[in-house]
Structure 1
């Protein structure tokens, strides 16, 4: 599943203020829940509950918090690039600065597993992580994640 199928431009953000893992999970829940306080609360509780089972950090500064919730009929994702890396208790001890959080309906077990696998594979690429970290601004970051080709820099003689 392409990332653009899970994301909207509004759910791709750069968090600049320092925070904790709980702060990041709460921010992800707010973005995933949108205008629905009930959905935000349900997704937030599910993300925190899942994180208590074990860290969702996959290494190299990446975490993929995920949970199943019936807050919505389809899977949703959010991407956060953190200005201040956060300890997610990663096995490689690297603080996390790239977070892709998602919520998938309870009855979509196979989609849940497939999407997690695809995300882990995508974020295992050092080149992809470097592009995300090197995005100059929010528009460039959104372009990378939504599959919009980015203009290349040309050096004039």
Structure 2
């Protein structure tokens, strides 16, 4: 199922980030909307990383946080030009950040499971890494099955 069916919005960006905090700041800006500010989302994402790394292997991280002002989940996919250390076994070059409403519990876990399944597909990972720009990333996220067959 496309992530756009599960979230209110999914934004994409190709980014030159120096470190994990720079990446999380960029992600929080993409996640922010009228309902939630980037500063509070950044703090939520950073706090979650302090609990433990959200790196899941294969150069992927799924930082996630909660916001009391969001009504629906939002996502941000970042392709990093240079991999950064997320505290896992290997540097990360693909980041899918997620912000969910404060009241999400079971739904939050289901979304994380969907993301882990999506990124377990080597074809999708490669398509994302080969994407030249944010528009191409968006196309892959909108139709991941097409990308995995690519």
Say whether the fold is shared (TM-score over 0.5): yes
Rg (Cα) greater in structure: 1
**Distance between the aligned counterparts of 1:7 and 1:50, measured in 2?**
22
Unmatched 5+ stretches in structure 1: none
**Distance between the aligned counterparts of 2:37 and 2:83, measured in 1?**
27
**Distance between the aligned counterparts of 1:125 and 1:144, measured in 2?**
13
Query: Is the alpha carbon distance of 1:138 and 1:29 closer, same or farther for their aligned partners in structure 2, counting shifts above 3 Å?
Result: closer
Alignment partner of 2:102 out of 90, 100, 106? 106
Corresponding residue number in structure 2 for 1:81: 79
Question: Deviation at 1:18?
Answer: 3.6
- Alignment coverage as a number of residue pairs: 147
Corresponding residue number in structure 2 for 1:123: 119
**TM-superposition CA deviations, 1:13-60 (whole Å, max 9, x none):** 100x24100100111111111367x62111111101100000000001
**TM-superposition CA deviations, 1:111-156 (whole Å, max 9, x none):** 1010001101111111110111112333222111112867xx9xxx
**Distance between the aligned counterparts of 1:60 and 1:28, measured in 2?**
20
In the alignment, structure 1 residue 19 sits paired with structure 2 residue 21 = no
Which protein is richer in strand relative to its size?
2
Corresponding residue number in structure 2 for 1:30: 29
Could you state the TM-score of these two structures normalised by the residue count of structure 2? Answer: 0.88
Question: Deviation at 1:74?
Answer: 0.7
Structure 1 segment 39-118 matched on structure 2, within 5 A: 39-90=37-88, 93-118=89-114
**Distance between the aligned counterparts of 2:23 and 2:34, measured in 1?**
18
**Distance between the aligned counterparts of 2:81 and 2:9, measured in 1?**
21
**Distance between the aligned counterparts of 1:95 and 1:35, measured in 2?**
33
